[in-house]
């Protein structure tokens, strides 16, 4: 039986699966395709970018499934990097992930508030307050315990899956003029730049923001029942489910909308336009589509935010247990069994970031920050497999080292090309990583 100082293993397969799917299946699928269409200029390239990002995410999910089965401890990537490369590398991850993860959570909170305020213009001036309330409510919910957070995630994920499947089915069955040639459409006057590897990489980065979430569950591995079996099933099954949904949704966009309608949907270049998801829904719902989609967007963002807050807080908890952060952050509530101080601290940082920055820049910067350390974790599996005495875990990556090797190489290429395709965000994220080196000496207490 767990003592009040320990996290409780209470997450079974269903809430774990919901955490993966709910963390991945967010508003990005309703929004990001417009920017991607502008970047690559053709429907086949947009779909290829979604497929490539899905395959890369699946390779990462398989890699993380083995890592989590080997090291089913609270902290996820923090633990993987600590065991493979030492405590200072783990600190760099934790330092970056908490800052960048908070930015990502802030972007989702801002998106949630934006969708709600669009329903009723009268509440638009209170958008920052609504973002703050969403963060506060979900933080308090998770402070009630991992069971409460897991149950809420299961309900929210089910609602998201129903909404997105309803969009696909409604558009294909009810929208007039479904055209197969839309899958081959191109932007008029498509430039040579839109066909480059760099442009494709930029589009993939946009898709990877939508896929982000498959790496979250291992952070809560210390609270998973039968982690050796549950973690791989939830991570791989969830990533495969979301990949299939995303490909179906994006194919639907090009089947029911002209390419220009996708490319000129809501984005940085067209801030006042409806989202591509709203335009697809309007093809069969008419005027009611805006309200229906905004509610779906809000529910989707709320569920993603819950998954992110629940899992990311466990990184600070693990760092405190190792002595990098104040010991109070590593405490557990005797009544709920939750890391209440870690959750509250993460909530405060997220609230602050929600008040600054644009959603697109927060999203792109966060995605890049994730992939710096996703790549490092892939490399960690090679190290851990070669370690003397390392036994076989309950799950092994199929076709290793090919799958994990491609994951590491692709992740590294993505990070490098982002220096050209997203220079502002890349400099910001790399600046955070570099700043972690001197910070590790300031925060060091008993680890090194």
Q: What is the pLDDT of residue 3?
A: 46
Instruction: Please check whether residue 98 is in contact with residue 373, taking contact to mean a CB–CB distance below 8 angstroms.
Output: no
Buried b (16+ CB within 10 A) or exposed e, 82-96: bbbbebbbbbbbbbb
* DSSP annotation of 220: B
Strand-pair partners of 42: 186
Ordered by where they begin, the domains of the chain are 13-443 (1.20.1740.10)
Q: Residue 302 in contact with residue 134, Cβ under 8 Å?
A: yes
- Both structure tokens of 422: 């997203």
Q: Are the C-beta atoms of residues 36 and 27 closer than 8 Å to each other?
A: no
For Cα atoms 308, 71, 17, give the angle at the middle one, nearest 5 degrees.
Answer: 40
Q: At what angle do helices 359-386 and 402-421 cross, to 10 degrees?
A: 150
- Three-state secondary structure call for residue 337: coil
368-399: burial string, b at 16+ Cβ within 10 Å, e else: bbbbbbbbbbbbbbeebbeeeeeeebbbebee
Helix, strand, coil in percent for the chain, rounding step 5: 75, 0, 20
pTM, 2 dp: 0.87
Mean pLDDT per 10-residue section of the chain, whose length is 448 residues: 67 94 85 90 93 93 94 94 95 90 82 80 77 90 91 92 90 85 86 81 83 88 92 94 94 93 86 84 78 83 89 93 92 91 91 64 69 93 88 88 94 82 78 89 67
Report whether 328 contacts 341 (CB < 8 A).
yes
Q: Which two tokens stand for residue 414?
A: 């993505």
The answer to whether 293 and 30 are in contact (CB under 8 A) is yes
pLDDT at residue 21, rounded to an integer: 94
**Measuring CA to CA, how many Å separate 439 from each of 75, 96, 289, 349, 445?**
20, 11, 49, 17, 12
Q: What is the pLDDT of residue 445?
A: 61
2, 277 contact by CB (below 8 A): no
pLDDT of residue 102: 83
Classify 415 in phi/psi space as left (phi over 0), alpha (psi -120 to 50) or beta: alpha
pLDDT of residue 259: 93
Alpha helix segments (H runs only) across 176-265: 197-211, 227-256, 259-263
d(CA 204, CA 209) in angstroms, rounded, equals 9
301 Cβ contact partners less than 8 Å away, ≥ 6 residues apart: 26, 27, 108, 109, 111, 112, 115
DSSP 288: G
Cα end-to-end span (Å), the chain: 32
Query: Is 34 in contact with 270 (CB distance < 8 Å)?
Result: yes
Q: What is residue 1's predicted lDDT score, i.e. its pLDDT?
A: 38
Query: What DSSP character marks residue 382?
Result: H
């Amino acid at each position: 039986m767990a003592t009040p100082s320990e996290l409780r293993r209470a997450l079974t397969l269903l809430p774990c699966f919901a955490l993966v799917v709910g963390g991945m299946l967010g508003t990005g699928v309703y929004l990001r395709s417009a920017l991607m269409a502008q970047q690559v200029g053709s429907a086949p390239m947009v779909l290829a970018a979604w497929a490539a990002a899905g395959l890369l995410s699946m390779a990462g999910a398989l890699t993380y499934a083995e890592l989590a089965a080997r090291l089913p401890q609270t902290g996820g990537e923090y633990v993987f990097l600590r065991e493979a490369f030492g405590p200072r590398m783990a600190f760099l991850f934790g330092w970056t992930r908490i800052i960048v993860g908070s930015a990502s959570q802030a972007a989702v909170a801002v998106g949630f508030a934006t969708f709600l305020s669009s329903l009723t213009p009268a509440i638009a001036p209170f958008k920052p307050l609504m973002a703050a309330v969403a963060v506060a409510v979900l933080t308090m919910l998770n402070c009630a315990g991992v069971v409460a957070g897991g149950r809420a995630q299961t309900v929210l994920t089910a609602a998201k899956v129903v909404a997105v499947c309803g969009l696909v089915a409604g558009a294909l069955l009810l929208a007039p003029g479904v055209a197969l040639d839309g899958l081959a459409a191109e932007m008029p006057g498509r430039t040579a730049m839109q066909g480059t590897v760099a442009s494709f990489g930029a589009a993939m980065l946009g898709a990877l923001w939508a896929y982000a979430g498959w790496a979250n569950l291992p952070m809560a591995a210390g609270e998973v029942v039968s982690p050796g079996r549950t973690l791989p099933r939830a991570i791989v099954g969830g990533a495969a489910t979301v990949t299939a949904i995303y490909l179906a949704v994006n194919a639907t966009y090009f089947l029911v909308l002209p390419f220009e309608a996708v490319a000129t949907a809501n984005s940085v270049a067209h801030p006042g336009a409806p989202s591509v998801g709203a335009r697809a829904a309007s093809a069969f719902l008419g005027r009611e589509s805006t309200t229906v989609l905004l509610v779906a967007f809000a529910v989707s963002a709320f569920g993603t935010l819950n998954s992110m807050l629940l899992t990311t807080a466990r990184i600070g908890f693990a760092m405190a247990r190792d002595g990098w952060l104040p010991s109070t952050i590593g405490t557990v509530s005797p009544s709920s069994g939750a890391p209440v101080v870690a959750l509250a601290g993460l909530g405060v940082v997220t609230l602050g970031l929600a008040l600054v920055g644009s959603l697109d820049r927060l999203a792109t910067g966060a995605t890049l920050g994730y992939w710096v350390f996703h790549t490092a974790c892939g490399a960690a599996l090679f190290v851990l497999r070669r370690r003397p005495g390392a036994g076989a875990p309950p799950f092994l990556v199929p076709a290793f080292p090919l799958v994990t090797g491609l994951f590491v190489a692709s992740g590294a290429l993505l990070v490098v090309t982002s220096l050209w395709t997203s220079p502002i965000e890349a400099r910001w994220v790399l600046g955070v990583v570099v700043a972690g080196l001197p910070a590790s000496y300031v925060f060091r207490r008993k680890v090194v």
